[in-house]
Structure 1
Amino acid sequence: MSYLFPTYARWEIEPESASGSTLTDKNGKKYLDFTSGIGVCNLGHRPNNVEEAVHKQLKQYWHVSNLFQSENQETAAKMLAEAAGLDRVFFANSGAEANEAAIKLARKATGKTKIITFKNSFHGRTFATMSATGQDKIKHGFGPMLKTFVNVSYNDIEAVNSEMGNDIAAVMIEAVQGEGGIHVGKKDFLQGVQELCKQYGTLFIIDEIQTGIGRTGKPFAFQHFDLDPDLITSAKGLGSGFPIGAVIGKEKLEPFFGQGSHGSTFGGNPVSLAAAIATMDAIFKEEFLDEVVEKSEFFFKQLRNNLNHLTIIKDIRGMGLMVGIECKLPAAPLLSELRKMGLIALPAGEKVIRLLPPLTVSKEELKYGVYIIKEILEKESLVADKQALLTK
């Protein structure tokens, strides 16, 4: 019997310890972890610099409240703002909270309520962010969603244009859709959305919860596309596993988030901030991000050279160290077989294997991960080929 609500389809693994790219379970079995805690442990498990920063803060104080001055909040906010090319920051506890805050701020700043989001998007599981999300499966059973959100097709500028008008408060978009299947935005599409926002006085919000903090080889994914958002949201990779989220916005929005307008008891927690500062200090260095780009090129080359010939592979796509392998078979059984061979990966939709290795992963680990993936997918492809022959 479990006292937990069964909200998660849990794997057969219970971790005992983890370090770098390796996770060890209670039975002593080691796994190559290409999930990074769902894009959270961008520096790998228990990076030394983050661990030291957290230990130092734990010996000082753990929590006071946001009624006190906080040098660490100012430091972390400055690092985020400068990395994003924006001006102001609000700290929350998670990506959903960050997106919720961005939605509130957009409505208040514009005086409008309607927000455009995209099919296959994912923005969180609070009521507003669930309503914003373009996936029906997470909405089942919860009754009517908020009617102020409209979902349109991704990478389709005409679909956005057909819904745009003077009543639109914001467009909220992911530069790379993560949970929805690792779909990369086209540059002309993303820039077209931005131009429509400017034309209609609409705020342009980019959800960087999964794509930010170096995951794509830049501090934030929008920077690959020459975009100028009004707001971005960040979480996952920001705290190396400690709960933190952030809304980063332009200075013009400051009057609408004044005293008493929004808050969070645990937002900007000193221990999480210590982790975030240490994380950003490592990741936002130019040489670190250059290495991510180099590893990404190596990884995609290895994947394509080893998998493109397999008949069950439909596409290999992504950006940086955020990769989707779309198969012609359901992903869940394939992921189970990968775990048996010591590789942990994720789904992204029904038929996509999602790979989010730590940004600190070695080329040798990437190569070994590809070897395991090839072993499993090659075997499954042979089975699928034989079945296809038998049914002819």
Structure 2
Amino acid sequence: MLKYLMLYEDRGIEIEYAESQYVWDSNGRKYLDMHTGHGVAFLGHRNPHIVNTIVDQMSKVMTLSTSFRVKIREEMLEVLSKVVPDRYEYVYLLNSGSEAVEFALKISRKVTGRKKIIYFTNSFHGRTFGALSVTANQKYRKGFEPLLPETMMLRYNDLSEIDKAVDEQTAAVILELIQGEGGINVASEEFVSELRRRTMDVGAILIIDEIQTGFGRTGSIWLSEQYGVYPDILLAGKAIGGGFPVSVIFMPHDIGVKIERGSHGSTYGGNPLACAAVKASTEVLINDSVPQKAYEKGNMFFELLRRELKDIRIVREIRGAGLMIGIDLRIEPTNIIKELQNEGILALKSGTTVLRLLPPYVITNIDIEYAVKVIARTIASQISS
């Protein structure tokens, strides 16, 4: 009998059913899901419109090389164009966030003819070799070195290093506006503005990784919109497929036109089911005003958390945007996550000391009020223990 290689910690429950903001285990117990598969189920588990669109496409064509045209791809592009800034003319679909990062790094070196790639402390961009080379945490890198050469790590939110480090030898700078795995650290407006200015000055490519922050979670379709910054390459994933594995890379004309056939490829990338998932997810995003709802519910969540947690001394800070929430603690949050699960709430960790909440946009006000009370009680209980 084969054994599944468990590369994530087993949470000790078997999930049998999922719908909207809830999942049920094999014992019939219901959980409020604020883990959402590391943020994938932002549009809710088994969103009916997304499921129906995928099932409809399955009855026609399930898999097809992008060498062949298919109607659903054109339909996806038409709808997706409504939520992407006008400067982006080219789009390419892959299967995971790491793959999108890999392609972005390849594009940067190909287009600029340079080698150096800059990333930041506490960054996380994936676990494949290229993505891992721009991921800061040593626990992910250990045992896999040497990684890509000519990468350079700078301090996140530190303006003092930018002018010296980002130079005429730099191919790309890759940045998360909120570091999802690294601690829900939020980039300052000054930091992002300086990176945009400097990359333009030296002709380097600015890659913004919105695989976790994008597609409505942070209260706007793209978090970069809130900064007034348009990167040279924009990466999306997780929520954009509504639960189907897909990632997207967006490029302007001056970059996309330089990518030759054969420069990259993917057996499954851009398959008809992925196109159907992205089309349907985008329609949900537009038709149900998802970013606005994430903004409003996020504001409520932050307000209640700050009120309920303000006197709990092991709470350092509450930060994030929209429905991407981090509670920075003075202790490691593993026990809190376990206790929350026992109370019927699924959450996850970010960085070393941050309790991370990634609820779907369909979470209700009643859910939020309940979750805040349980979270406050659970965190407070750790003081005496």
Residue 258 of structure 1: how far off its partner (Å)? 2.6
What is aligned with 2:121?
A: 119
Among 341, 344, 350, the residue aligned to 1:342: 344
Two-structure CA RMSD over aligned residues (Å) = 1.4
Q: What amino acid sits opposite 1:69 in the alignment?
A: R
**Rounded Cα–Cα distance in structure 1 between residues aligned with 2:290 and 2:147:** 42
Structure 1 gaps of 5+ residues are 384-392
**Rounded Cα–Cα distance in structure 2 between residues aligned with 1:68 and 1:171:** 34
Residue 82 of structure 1: how far off its partner (Å)? 4.3
Deviates more, 1:162-171 or 1:4-13: 4-13
Contact residue 63 and residue 269 of structure 1 kept, 8 A: yes
Among 213, 218, 221, the residue aligned to 2:220: 218
Residue 364 of structure 1: how far off its partner (Å)? 0.9
Query: What is the 5 A alignment of 1:17-32?
Result: 17-32=17-32
Residue identity (%) = 36
What is aligned with 1:47?
A: 47
What is aligned with 1:67?
A: 67
Distance 1:151 1:219, change over 3 A: same
Residue 218 of structure 1: how far off its partner (Å)? 1.0
What is aligned with 1:56?
A: 56
CA offset digits 1:97-130 (Å, max 9, x no partner): 0110111111101001111111101011110100
Give secondary structure in 2 for the equivalent of 1:281.
helix
What is aligned with 2:270?
A: 268
What is aligned with 1:106?
A: 108
Structure 2 gaps of 5+ residues are none
Contact residue 91 and residue 248 of structure 2 kept, 8 A: yes
Residue 377 of structure 1: how far off its partner (Å)? 0.8
Contact residue 35 and residue 357 of structure 1 kept, 8 A: yes
Give secondary structure in 2 for the equivalent of 1:256.
coil
CA offset digits 1:259-287 (Å, max 9, x no partner): 22211110012112211111111113583
What TM-score does the superposition give when structure 1 sets the normalisation length? 0.95
Structure 1 residue 146 and structure 2 residue 126: aligned? no
**Rounded Cα–Cα distance in structure 2 between residues aligned with 1:94 and 1:284:** 23
What TM-score does the superposition give when structure 2 sets the normalisation length? 0.96
Contact residue 80 and residue 248 of structure 1 kept, 8 A: no
Query: What is the 5 A alignment of 1:191-210?
Result: 191-210=193-212
**Rounded Cα–Cα distance in structure 2 between residues aligned with 1:116 and 1:284:** 34
**Rounded Cα–Cα distance in structure 1 between residues aligned with 2:6 and 2:256:** 41
Give secondary structure in 2 for the equivalent of 1:205.
strand
CA offset digits 1:346-372 (Å, max 9, x no partner): 100121000000011111111111111
Residue 6 of structure 1: how far off its partner (Å)? 3.1
Structure 1 residue 248 and structure 2 residue 246: aligned? no
Residue 159 of structure 1: how far off its partner (Å)? 2.0
Give secondary structure in 1 for the equivalent of 2:144.
coil
Residue 12 of structure 1: how far off its partner (Å)? 0.6
What is aligned with 2:236?
A: 234
Q: What amino acid sits opposite 1:290 in the alignment?
A: Q
CA offset digits 1:206-249 (Å, max 9, x no partner): 00110111110111111110002110111111111111111101
Q: Give the total of aligned pairs.
A: 383
Among 122, 129, 132, the residue aligned to 1:130: 132
Contact residue 17 and residue 23 of structure 1 kept, 8 A: yes
**Rounded Cα–Cα distance in structure 2 between residues aligned with 1:240 and 1:307:** 32
What is aligned with 1:328?
A: 330
Residue 81 of structure 1: how far off its partner (Å)? 4.5
Q: What amino acid sits opposite 1:20 in the alignment?
A: S
Among 69, 89, 92, the residue aligned to 1:90: 92
**Rounded Cα–Cα distance in structure 2 between residues aligned with 1:234 and 1:70:** 22
What is aligned with 2:13?
A: 13
CA offset digits 1:108-157 (Å, max 9, x no partner): 01001111111101011110100111111100111212122111111111
